[in-house]
Amino acid sequence: MSKFDAKTLSDLHEAEEVAIRTEKHPDNAVVIWVVVADDEAFARSFRGAKGRWYRDLATGGPAVLEFGGRRLAVQAAPTNDEAALARVSREYFRKYRSSSYAQAMVQPGILSTTLRLEPR
């Protein structure tokens, strides 16, 4: 497993919204929320398994994150470890607590879409 450097993790931690472009749909950027928990970056699909970007990335396809004027090539690995899911959920609440959508990101049907993002 490859990890992002400290500067990239800090930038992702601070970024409110990140655009993602998958290799399958490079012309369509989708805004997602990314959190950093224990020096790893994670994303979840608000639309659950129906989210196009999620389906593209979960099946092993590469993607590019765009945030703060940066473009970052990534790949993803599904995460189903209960302790990791709990850490990620806490980070969603911490980072997005002022949003009415924060609660939706920690619902049982969404947890299964948790992806650990790694550099490509």
List, for residues 93-107, the tens digit of each pLDDT value: 999 999 999 999 999
Q: Please report, rounded to a whole number, the percentage of residues in the chain having pLDDT higher than 90.
A: 93
C-alpha torsion 43→49→55→59, nearest 10: 90
Q: For residues 25 and 10, give the distance between their C-alpha atoms in angstroms, rounded to a whole number.
A: 27
Calculate mean pLDDT across residues 3-18. Answer: 96
Say whether pLDDT at 1 is over 70. no
**What gap in Å lies between CA 114 and CA 71, rounded to an integer?**
21
The per-residue DSSP string of the chain comes to -----HHHHHHHHH-S-EEEEESSSTT--EEE-EEEETTEEEE--TTGGG-HHHHHHHTT--EEEEETTEEEEEEEEE---HHHHHHHHHHHHHHHTTSTTTGGGGSHHHHTT-EEEEE-
Return the number of other C-beta atoms located less than 10 Å from residue 97's C-beta: 9
pLDDT digits (tens, 9 = 90+) for 15-48: 999 999 999 999 999 999 999 999 999 999 999 9
Query: What proportion of the chain, given as a percentage, has pLDDT over 70?
Result: 99
**Residue range 3-21: mean pLDDT, rounded:** 96
pTM, to two decimals: 0.94
Q: What local confidence, expressed as pLDDT, does residue 104 receive?
A: 92
Specify the CATH architecture of the domain 6-112: Roll (2.30)
- Write down the domain spans for the chain: 6-112
76-85 per-position pLDDT tens digit: 999 999 999 9
Average pLDDT, the chain: 95
Return the half-sphere exposure (C-beta side, CA atoms, 13 A cut-off) of residue 66: 11
Burial class (CB in 10 A: 0-12, 13-18, 19+), 77: middle
